[in-house]
Amino acid sequence: MINKNISKYIALFFVGCSLAATTACSSDENPFFTASEFDAPRILNTDIPEGKNGEPATLANIERTTNFTYEAIVTPADYTTVTWFIDDEQVAEGLKIDVPVIAGDHVLKIVATTTQGLSTSRTCMLVVRPAEGDPAFASDAKSRWLTIGTTKTVDIANVTSVSKVFIGKQEASNVSFADGKVTFDVPAMAEGQYMVSIEADGMRYGCGLFTVSNDTYVDPGVKETVLWEGDVDINWGASNATVTADDLADVPVGATIRLVYEMADMPEGYHAMRITTPWWGDNPEDQVVAQFDLTDDTPKPYEFIYTEAIKALVDERGGMLIVGYGYKLTKVVAVEEVAPAENVIWEGGVDINWGASNVSVSADDLAAVPVGATIHVYYELVDMPEGYHSMRITTPWWGDNPEDQVVAQFDLTSDTPNPYDFTYTEANKAIVDERGGMLIVGYGYTLKKITIE
């Protein structure tokens, strides 16, 4: 006698076959129905992370010396081609990829296309860390600011020659290398953040993100005040520019006065600048800056220090008069140093005690922190019976390996700087982005504030 349950499944099997007459029934060798070339493609990998707020998540975080390897799972498998793009450039085709990638944060796109032209894709980030000893540009914000149309010189370590510089996909011109510095012309291009790479010692290296802008860099520790702005062809008494005493009233002694100018084509080839007062004194001691010839070697912009003597002269004689011949004046700026701005990213009063009590700073809170910024951790030591205090700056994953941490664990003592400062490196940013933020843990101290500058 046939078991009732078995007979039920046999009946269902034949019903299924009759309902799917146009599709081959399953067999022992192929127990599942197969998608056809007319079906929409799907990428089935479950380990591709979902992005947040429109930003792709990180699929892999590897060192430059390690190839990026991955295998896509797609359907319909027999009718689908997989194409791999890194930063919009096709680098591989097929289910598997195994390629070297230069250091940097890259956009990885996996595209699956069927023979019928149906397509789907997944986009994520691929983070490649520089290897030890790789070429490294200076990481401060000023070094990594590229003003379009200017010549840039940047310190670089671990190279003996640099033959090419690429800003994104655009190649810079007039590249030279000497005394640990790379010099190049910044090409005309759209403003934004670009990864810069170089060809050095016969290899291509990624060197991190740079800002490309039409504006000149403004140091966060510097205040710039525009005293005068215009477009005046300076021609002695016929055409000059006045900065009034009121305009200069708030300029402190010790500030730098910056004159932005352009040389004009003059038939006689003569150019001169004098910075005086409305009294037009001819004696050098009656002038702010005595007259001098402008040449190709004169700094552009021209700058001088606003001294006590200059301030006294300006206050007495009602301002400053920029005169001369053969140049166009466009701006006069006062530049003074100010205390660097600090942005608070966390503030409170938490007694740090390992897993029982710690502080988390999310990846979103850190999203705007640039590589090269200084992070200040303000704290107070707590009296502990055993006299033990330590700090570790890690991530929500709580990795114990030093390479898995933002700052490896160390003992806090009375000699430890307060605030404790560290530089936010590319490696720090990569691990924070991948693992969802930064976790401040340890024992025996109260965390007061975390700021960046």
What secondary structure does DSSP assign to 63-87, as a single string? ETTSPEEEE--EESGGGEEEEEEET
Rounded to whole angstroms, the Cα distance separating 184 from 152 reads: 5
* pLDDT of 27 strictly over 80: no
For residue 352, the number of C-alpha atoms closer than 13 Å in the C-beta half-sphere is: 27
- At 176, the pLDDT band (50, 70, 90 cuts) reads very high
Last residue of a domain, one of 337, 368, 396: 337
pLDDT at 188 (0 to 100)? 95
Give the per-residue pLDDT at 241: 95
- Assess whether 61 and 163 both reside in one domain: no
E strands, 16-103, are 42-43, 58-63, 68-71, 74-75, 80-86, 89-93, 96-99
pLDDT-derived band at 105, boundaries 50, 70, 90: confident
More confident residue, 369 or 331: 331
Residues 197 and 239 in one domain: no
Nearest alpha-carbon partner for 255 in 157, 338, 378: 338
Question: What is the pLDDT at residue 378?
Answer: 92
Confidence (pLDDT) at 29: 43
Measured CA to CA in angstroms, residue 405 lies from 73, 98, 111, 347 at distances of 32, 27, 34, 22
The average confidence (pLDDT) of the chain is 86
CATH code for the domain in which residue 307 is found: 2.60.120
pTM of the model: 0.51
Residue 36 lies in a domain: no
Provide CB contacts within 8 A for 401, sequence distance 6+.
none
The answer on 440 and 389 residing in a single domain is yes
Tell me the three state secondary structure of residue 230. strand
Q: Are 332 and 256 in contact (CB under 8 A)?
A: no
Has residue 237 been placed in a domain?
Answer: yes
Residues 97 and 170 both lie in one domain: no
For the ranges 71-80, 91-100, 208-217, which has the lowest average pLDDT? 208-217
pLDDT of residue 252: 92
Same domain, 394 and 310: no
Structure tokens at 292: 């001098």
| 394 and 416 together in one domain | yes
Question: For the domain that residue 159 is a member of, what is the CATH number?
Answer: 2.60.40.10
Q: How many domains does the chain have?
A: 5
Amino acid at 423: T
> Would 291 be classed as within a structural domain?
yes
Query: How far apart are the C-alpha atoms of 6 and 11, rounded to whole Å?
Result: 9
Residues 12 and 105 in one domain: no
Q: Which of 54-63, 136-145, 334-343, 411-420 is least confident?
A: 334-343
Residue 210 phi/psi, 5° resolution? -125, 155
Res 68: pLDDT: 96
How far apart (Å, rounded) are the C-alpha atoms in residues 283 and 124?
69
- Residue at which a domain ends, from 185, 213, 241: 213
CA 238 to chain centre: 48
Range of the domain at 95: 42-122
| Residues recorded for the chain | 453
Q: Does 227 lie in the same domain as 328?
A: yes
Are 327 and 260 within 8 A, CB to CB?
no
- In this structure, which amino acid lies at residue 61? N
Q: What angle do CA 213, 219, 221 make, to 5 degrees?
A: 160
Residue 382 lies in a domain: yes
Residues 231 and 207 in one domain: no
Helix ranges (H only) for 53-191 are none
89-93, 231-235, 384-388: least confident range: 384-388
Rounded Cα gap, residues 410 and 8, in angstroms: 68
Inform me whether the pLDDT recorded for 374 exceeds 70.
yes
Residues 61, 427: contact at Cβ < 8 Å?
Answer: no
Q: What is the pLDDT of residue 339?
A: 60
Whether 37 is covered by a domain: the verdict is no
Does residue 47 belong to any structural domain of this protein?
yes
Residue 168 shares a structural domain with residue 237: no
**Domain end marker among 319, 337, 355:** 337
Residue 250 lies in a domain: yes
- Looking at the domain assignment, is residue 35 inside a domain? no
- Does 400 lie in the same domain as 314? no
Strands annotated E in 338-427 = 343-353, 359-362, 374-381, 390-394, 407-411, 420-423
Kindly state whether residues 24 and 56 are assigned to the same domain.
Answer: no
Give residue 16's pLDDT: 40
The CATH code of the domain that includes 88 is 2.60.40
Q: Which residues contact 34 (CB under 8 A, 6 or more apart)?
A: 76, 78
